[in-house]
Structure 1
């Protein structure tokens, strides 16, 4: 077996790992690069092999940095099956067409307002491309063993990161490799703790929070404080949130705060993401993966008013607070939330609340760094609103939680590959694993190939 790293090296995006064994070729994850322009440009570059030569794709989960390249892969000739859990398949049916639609919308907006350097601006792929690739989704339940390609065995195990998220294990009968995907937290508000794994000959492990530890503060308390002080100013809390996972956690937390009397029952809550609304229904459908009771699931789903049309979304920008708007995307890279930031960032009464990791080069990273302006639609928008980041609502395990998960392996891997982290975080994770577990580690570089002997 050989592995080639086609993404998620020195960055938290673009996850793609190519496994070759004999005549078989399997791609684990198929994500888009996001953030810095030099990373995003990789989305437009051809892969080092023809997509038609790939036998199968296996997804760890549905987030765009793990699944968002699929429409392009299929358009370029990939004919095989895309294996994933049933919940991941359901979420991809929401996320991927929306990603194509957003790219079409942003290209059209750029052309209409003439702020793109390209004439005309083109989407990476369209909604139609995304809808066509969905026909190749092939759901596989947790725990089932199957062959995605001749000579390779595979299985999926719950990773606790988001609905449907899984660890992927591959073996050829003599060598095995385990992909962590994104590792969830042991005490997540919605999901069960990550499953414990026995280990493998080789390990590919994420390092998003490899250089930090989540604080001991109560994120529910912090969220309540942010909402209350913004409401007291008559302001609006704008929360850029991943439509799948983070939005549902926020809805559940806000419901808890209302039920506990921490924030007013009458405070208007808007979920301005039809995709997040659809994802919430998927959470209800797959509630066996959740810690919540049926009643808590229904309460979460009923917490916010759903904003459906673009016109309703535009009307929100003309309203005054107090109110809370949850809208995709989580790093403010696109979608309706960008228009909300443009409308509400200049007013000091408002708050921009980020509930998770912000990749370098994204608008979210710019805002949490304390920038006085943010670039939106070709113009610099002043940032006078309060900016808050609540890392403790993250769905990613921190460095200590990852180490605790690794310690329970029955045997050490021959080699541990540190991926899916910014350089400082990945190197910190490498050092901790080497010092505390005494495992051999390697931080792969982009397009590096490694023999799994």
Structure 2
């Protein structure tokens, strides 16, 4: 048996993760992400999938973020009919996220058509809500730490990765004619001291390893995230402004609500209105109540009077009319709204109306990919384009990498040091060039590993004749 892999995304960029594993008579995809960020990356989403989809047997998912699951409706639309293996929470979150993504793409195509700012005469969405719904019957939810047979010779096990609810490190054991091989995909690794999620599981052995490198060249400051968030909020409130937090609906929104609740209960910030303005974020939050064994807040959520997802100052906004009522809001309040990189969603309305006001503050709490509106804002641009119009940036911009869901360089190295043996090959993936190069060099110099930074669409033979 020969085993090879083709890098269809997540190589040379922090987006579009897709890794096609071929064992000769069985081909499957690990992750099925959407490309985001720069136009040249986003345009890849429209390309035809580079193999006949009736030959692909399965998809295995690490977690539910768009850059890991967002291409699924396109895959199914092009003919994929196989099972999609993932943890139970990942399946439920992916349903919420894909529906929201389809809805946003429909709305953005319609808005572009109405306003005439698209390059196309009749702009179309990449996929619709109906396309997203067609994916759902193919989900095959799995338990953590329980091997699943996806083929008589291939077993998959999911281990906690932190990062978001349901996120997993994926271990794939392939039994050849003479020997078995272990493939390990880190997925996106979370923080070791996250107050909500379990730390990444240490894996003792891998013949081939795929390790993410989002923050492969960054070491987080030794400051408590809640203190950093408190300082930013108080700074904004001292100016009489509104704190707007663009936040990924899955994971970051729940962590931010946890910290805000803690800060208010401890008297460290005033008890002002907190608006959770993201239907997807609201639906995702409900899953934390459902999957209590997948996180560390079970005891906290048992409190009847108030807890991080239900306290007097917190108002959930599902309807668009409620969201629009905040357009003219003035004074101290906190708005948490998706998307985290300000690439779409309701947060754009808030930025459009509140960026020009110098009293306000925008707090970015996660990674801002190259080419995104969030990246341009944290890099200091004085104007950003929203809905085809130039909007002046007078509000103060804050970036808090300590609140990121991604392991930093030290945590990535700590996880890597958990391996008892050197992998035969370690692919450093899901990172921008500098991040991947620095982590690859560090793994090579300090652990003696054979590290490879793959290129987009590159194919690599992993084993021959096993």
Shorter-normalised TM-score: what interval? over 0.9
**TM-fit CA distance, 1:408:** 1.4
Moved over 4 A (4+): none
Among 347, 352, 355, the alignment partner of 2:357 is 347
User: Match for residue 285 of structure 1?
Assistant: 290
**Distance change in 2, residues 1:305/1:99 (3 Å):** same
List runs of 5+ in structure 1 lacking aligned partners: none
SS of equivalent residue, structure 1 residue 316:
coil
User: Match for residue 179 of structure 1?
Assistant: 185
Counterpart Cα distance in 1 of 2:56 and 2:431: 26
Q: Aligned pair 1:8/2:37, yes or no? A: no
Matches within 5 A, 1:414-453: 414-453=424-463
Counterpart Cα distance in 2 of 1:252 and 1:49: 44
User: Match for residue 400 of structure 2?
Assistant: 390
> Over aligned residues, Cα RMSD in angstroms?
1.0
List runs of 5+ in structure 2 lacking aligned partners: none
SS of equivalent residue, structure 1 residue 193:
coil
**TM-fit CA distance, 1:171:** 2.2
User: Match for residue 121 of structure 2?
Assistant: 119
Among 247, 250, 254, the alignment partner of 1:248 is 254
Contact in 2 for aligned 1:25/1:149 (Cα 8 Å):
no
**TM-fit CA distance, 1:294:** 3.0
SS of equivalent residue, structure 1 residue 172:
strand
**TM-fit CA distance, 1:296:** 4.3
**TM-fit CA distance, 1:218:** 1.6
**TM-fit CA distance, 1:347:** 0.7
Contact in 2 for aligned 1:5/1:16 (Cα 8 Å):
yes
Q: Aligned pair 1:308/2:310, yes or no? A: no
User: Match for residue 273 of structure 1?
Assistant: 278
Residue by residue, what CA displacement relative to the aligned partner does 1:213-267 show, whole Å, maximum 9, x if unpaired? 01101211111111122122221111110000000000000000000101112x0
SS of equivalent residue, structure 1 residue 301:
coil
Counterpart Cα distance in 2 of 1:221 and 1:172: 46
Contact in 2 for aligned 1:237/1:325 (Cα 8 Å):
yes
Counterpart Cα distance in 2 of 1:297 and 1:73: 40
**TM-fit CA distance, 1:283:** 0.9
SS of equivalent residue, structure 1 residue 162:
coil
Among 93, 96, 111, the alignment partner of 1:94 is 96
**Distance change in 2, residues 1:297/1:406 (3 Å):** farther
Residue by residue, what CA displacement relative to the aligned partner does 1:284-326 show, whole Å, maximum 9, x if unpaired? 1112122224334761111420111111111111111211100
Residue by residue, what CA displacement relative to the aligned partner does 1:144-181 show, whole Å, maximum 9, x if unpaired? 21222342221111111111000111122222210000
**TM-fit CA distance, 1:199:** 2.2
Matches within 5 A, 1:146-161: 146-161=148-163
Among 263, 273, 295, the alignment partner of 2:269 is 263
User: Match for residue 22 of structure 1?
Assistant: 24
Residue by residue, what CA displacement relative to the aligned partner does 1:102-122 show, whole Å, maximum 9, x if unpaired? 000111111111111111111
Counterpart Cα distance in 1 of 2:16 and 2:443: 24
Among 212, 225, 231, the alignment partner of 1:219 is 225
**Distance change in 2, residues 1:150/1:293 (3 Å):** closer
Counterpart Cα distance in 1 of 2:224 and 2:16: 32
Counterpart Cα distance in 1 of 2:114 and 2:316: 28
Contact in 2 for aligned 1:32/1:66 (Cα 8 Å):
yes
**TM-fit CA distance, 1:380:** 1.4
SS of equivalent residue, structure 1 residue 178:
strand
Q: Which shifted more, 163-172 or 146-155?
A: 146-155
Contact in 1 for aligned 2:102/2:131 (Cα 8 Å):
yes
Contact in 1 for aligned 2:144/2:157 (Cα 8 Å):
yes
